[in-house]
Amino acid sequence: MRIPLLFSICLWMLSEAEVIQLTDMFGEIRTPNFPDSYPSDSEVTWNITVPEGFRLKLYFMHFDLEPSYLCEYDYAKVESEDQVIANFCGKESTDTEQAPGQQIITSPSNFLSLTFRSDFSNEERFTGFDAHYSAIDIDECTEKSDEDLVCDHHCHNYIGGFYCSCRFGYLLHTDNRTCKVECSDNLFTQRSGLISSPDYPGPYAKSSDCRYRIELEEGFVINLHFDDNFDVEDHPEVKCPYDYLKIKTGKKEFGPLCGEKSPGRIETGSNSVQILFHSDNSGENGGWRLSYSVTGMPCPNLHPPMNGKLEPPQSEYTFKDQVVISCNQGYRVLKDNVEMESLQIECRKDGTWSNQIPPCQKTEKDSRMS
């Protein structure tokens, strides 16, 4: 006749449980005395640990424990990281008992614990179990439950681990997962152009610090115009804590800029502009693009001399514009008491012309005929 369960629990508490540490990549686990009957009032735990990058599989070749309602007497319990994966007893599964049969148990990590416990008595002869375990490789490249293990671009699995690589033009960050770009010194000297975040309009590179410089000679003023499609990671409460744009022009600074609202047109008032773009190690934002153009320092309007003309005639003149002054037939340009066919003048960076408008003087031949 079986003694009440409460009394059997007390007896288990009095007996000392045995703990066995296993670190081999494979092995066999048997109940005490296997294949003979296992002893009563026994508890043994096998803690199996393999290197990171592996998980464990466990299966039973033979299983014969005392059957009981919900396996309350004798059982084999499988755990991993304080999570009970299975609790087995009996020989065949019933409505109230679960036996492993041909089931293969896989651990979620590189640790697995198997505990065998028997109560104070067995009314029949039960032979216990014969279990086998082995380490199996984790393919980190296809298992993306942990975002920290995802490579930015390419993932390569090997036995026991993985490594990341980047597309052409990118560099692997020191975290060995993130792909960044080398964009620290981009110089633009043309009077117009396009500048954008890396891979625009696709997500820009993580963990990168980009610097774009527009340098033109004095006398030019740079104007920026951002596309409407603007997407830089933002925060609802703190201004641009993650990714941002800053624009520096001498003593002026615009930014930090982020979010989804385009900055539109920015008149820098300078011939030298630095655009700084910072991204952190997360996010999938689309980035930004701008076009830039220049305007020159304006010069005063010109009026042709009497009996002369200007080429090309314009309503406005700015830095670097050139004008040719010539005279009508029978007249010549007079500069410093020297007659010449024409004179070319240029708008300078300080907003002045390189020469005043000279007069047109009648040639000597025409003077005598008159």
CA dist., res. 331 & res. 340, Å (int): 10
Helix spans in 205-261 (H): none
Q: 5-137: which CATH architecture?
A: Sandwich (2.60)
CA dist., res. 151 & res. 53, Å (int): 16
Class of the CATH domain delimited by 184-296: mainly beta
Q: What type of residue sits at position 40?
A: S
Q: What is the pLDDT along the chain (370 residues), one digit of tens a residue?
A: 344 444 344 443 445 689 999 999 999 999 999 999 999 999 999 999 999 999 999 999 999 999 999 999 999 999 998 899 999 999 999 988 999 999 999 999 999 999 999 998 777 889 999 999 999 999 888 876 545 557 888 999 999 889 999 988 899 999 898 999 988 889 999 999 999 999 899 999 999 999 999 999 999 999 999 999 999 999 999 999 999 999 999 889 999 999 999 999 999 989 999 999 999 988 889 999 999 999 998 999 999 999 999 999 888 999 999 999 999 999 999 999 899 999 999 999 999 999 999 999 998 765 555 4
CA dist., res. 55 & res. 105, Å (int): 11
What CATH number is given for 147-179 in this structure?
2.10.25.10
pTM higher than the cut 0.75: no
Which sequence spans correspond to the domains of the chain?
Answer: 5-137, 147-179, 184-296, 298-369
Report how far Cα 243 is from the mean position of its chain's Cα atoms: 11
Same topology, domains 184-296 and 298-369? Answer is: no
Class of the CATH domain delimited by 298-369: mainly beta
Dihedral sign computed on CA atoms, order 224, 225, 231, 236:
positive
